[in-house]
């Protein structure tokens, strides 16, 4: 199985604060990879690096064999269109309705007129159970609905890779479970590669093919969820104990 | 400070490059022209009207003192169209629109909306900054005409309240000494004011850091900096106009 994403010796610091300190990571095609870690350990930064929103200080990031750190902007945009990104709070455009939000990435799609874009947006909203909310503004819906609408928008360009930044944070357990089910269902239907950044252990257990724990800028352990859970490594054991209580 | 100017220059280059690169954002441009132009028109006309009244009251007593009362219409018209109208329009629009652009783009930045746009392969300079900058550039001369019109009209109202004069006589005697050289360059210089408002406010908005506090700072600095640069650029532009359109 080939790798969809390969990170090699990745370093990133903001001023004196080192966030990533030599990360090596392979995400095989079609797998759901969950990156666990406490808040502020650079998990979200890692996702922004993968999609080229930030530049690493050193190291390489290959997405489908292309090094996104050195691509010219036009080619980087081509790579970005193969990636769907669900931001932590949905990042919906607040002046647009949900339908317009989901149709927004389709504006650059050649050979798709406005009606087709809207029909496709409606279809995507239906896939996340929000067809009737097509004309609502982001300010009129709840946090969980924002995440679902954000997910519909992330799917608009039919991406090969999906990046999820804390998809269940700030949600009640039932809604969080619904979002995890949705991620699982979409993964089953679309066979996309997914990277999920979270500290939600239940979510990780539900959706992950493989899991890694990031701590102080390094990946301290990687494997199947149950392997990590059984690990005697003090940092890993402590993380599972602490997060298991929450 | 040099770093700031360097970043603004880079930002301006990106925005103008995006503006002349396909796909063109005509719909967004029209929306921004409505937002910036039509919705500022009343405010600008009100400010122009107040300026016309003040000009009439102040100038009248001075001209009477020098026995040049008959020059009052010309003085009001010339000073309105050459300086008061353009600068008042620039400052009023920088207050209303500059703060609006800075806050709107700033809040989009802190809620990851701009990152989401970039992550889906859409250039935020093209969609967000370029239409706002172009709308400011296109609308400022039109708003200046509105300010000039209401300034001259209310200048006549104030004059006729002190000493009844017909509007036709006021305009005819005032325009006798006015040429297109007095009118066109000062009106067109507001294109520069528009550019300043659009560029400074969009730049300040799109570089916000630090959450909602940062958004507030961006709104304030957009107004302060664009007003300051309008006044400073006016010095240069007036000198330029006197040199080339004597």
In this predicted structure, the answer to whether residue B173 has a pLDDT above a threshold of 90 is: no
Encoded tokens for B175 = 């325009």
> In this predicted structure, what is the pLDDT of residue A245?
57
CB distance B71 to B31 below 8 Å: no
Distance CA B165, CA B240 (A): 36
pLDDT tens-digit series, residues B127-172: 999 999 999 999 999 999 999 999 999 999 999 998 888 899 888 8
CB contact under 8 A, A77 and B112: no
In this predicted structure, the answer to whether residue B43 has a pLDDT above a threshold of 90 is: yes
Q: What is the dihedral of CA A50, A53, A57, A61, to 10 degrees?
A: 20
CB contact under 8 A, A87 and B116: yes
- In the block, which residue shows the tokens 């949900």? A98
Query: Which residues, 6 or more positions from B54, have their beta carbon under 8 angstroms from its beta carbon?
Result: none
CB distance B201 to B104 below 8 Å: no
Distance CA A106, CA A99 (A): 11
- Global confidence as pTM: 0.87
Categorize the per-residue pLDDT at B8 as very low, low, confident or very high, splitting at 50, 70 and 90.
very high
Closest CA to B72 of B168, B171, B149: B171
> In this predicted structure, what is the pLDDT of residue A42?
86
Categorize the per-residue pLDDT at B22 as very low, low, confident or very high, splitting at 50, 70 and 90.
confident
How far B219 CA sits from the closest chain A CA (Å)?
Answer: 18
Burial of A121 (0-12, 13-18, 19+ CB in 10 A): buried
> In this predicted structure, what is the pLDDT of residue A110?
65
CA distances from A140 to A102, A156, A182, B3 (A): 16, 22, 22, 41
CA distances from B235 to B47, B54, B188, B193 (A): 21, 23, 15, 12
DSSP B94-123: IIIIIHHHHHHHHHHHHTTHHHHHHHTT--
Segments making up each domain of chain B, as ranges = 2-244
Q: What is the dihedral of CA A134, A139, A145, A148, to 10 degrees?
A: 70
CB distance B93 to B140 below 8 Å: yes
Chain B residue numbers with beta carbons less than 8 Å from the beta carbon of A48 are 115
Interface contacts A/B by beta carbons within 8 Å: 56
The closest CB to that of A53, out of B113, B119, B122, belongs to: B119
> In this predicted structure, what is the pLDDT of residue B143?
96
Query: Would an 8 Å CB–CB cutoff place A91 in contact with chain B?
Result: yes
Chain B residue numbers with beta carbons less than 8 Å from the beta carbon of A85 are 116, 119-120
How far B246 CA sits from the closest chain A CA (Å)?
Answer: 47
Percent of chain B with pLDDT over 90: 61
Average pLDDT of chain B, as a whole number: 91
> In this predicted structure, what is the pLDDT of residue A205?
87
CB distance B159 to B116 below 8 Å: no
3-state secondary structure chain A: CCEEEEEEEEEEEECCEEEEEEEEEEEECCCEEEEECCCCCCHHHHHHHHCCCCCCCEEEEEECCEECCCCCHHHHHHHHCCEEEECCCCCCCCCCCHHHHHHHHHHHCCCCCHHHHHHHHHHHHHHCCCHHHCCCCHHHCCHHHHHHHHHHHHCCCCCCEEEEECCCCCCCHHHHHHHHHHHHHHHHHHCCEEEEEECCHHHHHHHCCEEEEEECCEEEEEECHHHHHHCCCHHHHHHHHHHHHC
The closest CB to that of B121, out of A91, A92, A108, belongs to: A108
Distance CA B130, CA A211 (A): 43
CB distance B18 to B129 below 8 Å: yes
Chain A residue numbers with beta carbons less than 8 Å from the beta carbon of B112 are 87-89, 91
Per-residue DSSP letter, B20: T
Distance CA A205, CA A180 (A): 10
> In this predicted structure, what is the pLDDT of residue B30?
94
Per-residue pLDDT tens digits of chain A, which is 246 residues long: 688 999 999 999 998 889 999 999 999 999 999 999 888 788 889 999 999 999 999 999 999 989 999 999 889 999 999 999 999 888 999 989 999 999 998 876 666 888 889 999 999 999 888 889 999 999 999 888 999 899 999 999 889 999 999 888 878 888 888 888 888 888 888 889 999 998 888 888 888 899 999 988 889 888 898 888 888 888 888 888 776 655
Chain B residue numbers with beta carbons less than 8 Å from the beta carbon of A91 are 111-113, 115-116
pLDDT tens-digit series, residues A49-93: 999 999 999 999 999 989 999 999 889 999 999 999 999 888 999
Distance CA B80, CA A246 (A): 68
Encoded tokens for A199 = 């500290």
A205 forms beta bridges with: none
């Amino acid at each position: 199985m080939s790798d969809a994403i390969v990170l090699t010796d990745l370093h990133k610091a903001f001023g004196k604060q080192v966030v990533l300190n030599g990360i090596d990571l392979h995400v095989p095609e079609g797998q759901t990879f969950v990156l666990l870690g406490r808040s502020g350990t650079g998990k979200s930064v890692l996702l922004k690096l993968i999609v080229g929103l930030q530049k690493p200080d050193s190291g390489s990031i290959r997405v489908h064999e292309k090094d996104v750190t050195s691509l010219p902007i036009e080619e980087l945009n081509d790579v970005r269109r193969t990636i769907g990104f669900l931001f932590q709070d949905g990042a919906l455009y607040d002046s647009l309705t949900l339908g317009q939000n989901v149709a927004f990435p389709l504006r650059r799609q050649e050979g798709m007129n406005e009606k087709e874009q809207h029909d496709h947006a409606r279809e995507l909203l239906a896939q996340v159970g929000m067809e009737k909310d097509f004309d609502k503004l982001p300010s009129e819906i709840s946090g969980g609905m924002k995440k679902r609408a954000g997910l519909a928008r992330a799917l608009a360009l039919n991406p090969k890779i999906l990046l999820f930044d804390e998809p269940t944070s700030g949600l009640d357990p039932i809604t969080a479970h619904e979002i995890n089910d949705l991620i699982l269902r979409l993964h089953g239907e679309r066979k996309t590669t997914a990277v999920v950044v979270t500290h939600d252990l239940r979510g990780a257990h539900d959706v992950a093919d493989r899991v890694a724990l990031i701590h102080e800028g390094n990946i301290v352990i990687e494997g199947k969820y149950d392997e990590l859970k059984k690990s005697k490594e003090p940092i890993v054991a402590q993380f599972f104990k602490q997060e298991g209580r929450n | 400070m040099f770093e700031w100017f360097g970043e603004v220059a880079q930002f301006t280059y990106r925005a103008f490059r995006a503006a002349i690169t396909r796909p063109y954002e005509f719909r967004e441009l029209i929306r921004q022209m409505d937002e910036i132009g039509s919705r500022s028109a009343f405010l600008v006309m009100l400010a122009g009207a107040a300026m016309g009244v003040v000009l009439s009251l102040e100038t009248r007593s001075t001209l009477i003192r020098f026995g040049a009362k008959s020059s009052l219409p010309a003085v009001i018209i010339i000073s309105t169209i050459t300086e008061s109208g353009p600068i008042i329009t620039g400052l009023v629009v920088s207050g209303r629109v500059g703060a609006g652009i800075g806050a709107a783009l700033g809040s989009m930045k802190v809620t990851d909306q701009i990152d989401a746009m970039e992550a889906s392969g859409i250039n935020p300079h093209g969609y967000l900054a370029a239409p706002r900058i172009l709308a400011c550039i296109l609308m400022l001369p039109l708003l200046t005409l509105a300010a000039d019109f209401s300034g001259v009209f209310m200048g006549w109202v104030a004059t006729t309240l002190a000493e009844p004069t017909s509007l036709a006589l006021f305009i005819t005697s005032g325009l006798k000494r006015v040429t297109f050289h007095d009118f066109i360059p000062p009106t067109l210089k507001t294109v520069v004011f528009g550019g300043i408002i659009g560029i400074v406010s969009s730049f300040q908005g799109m570089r916000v850091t630090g959450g909602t506090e940062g958004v507030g700072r961006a709104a304030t600095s957009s107004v302060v900096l664009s007003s300051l640069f309008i006044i400073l650029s006016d010095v240069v532009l007036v000198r330029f106009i006197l040199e080339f359109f004597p």
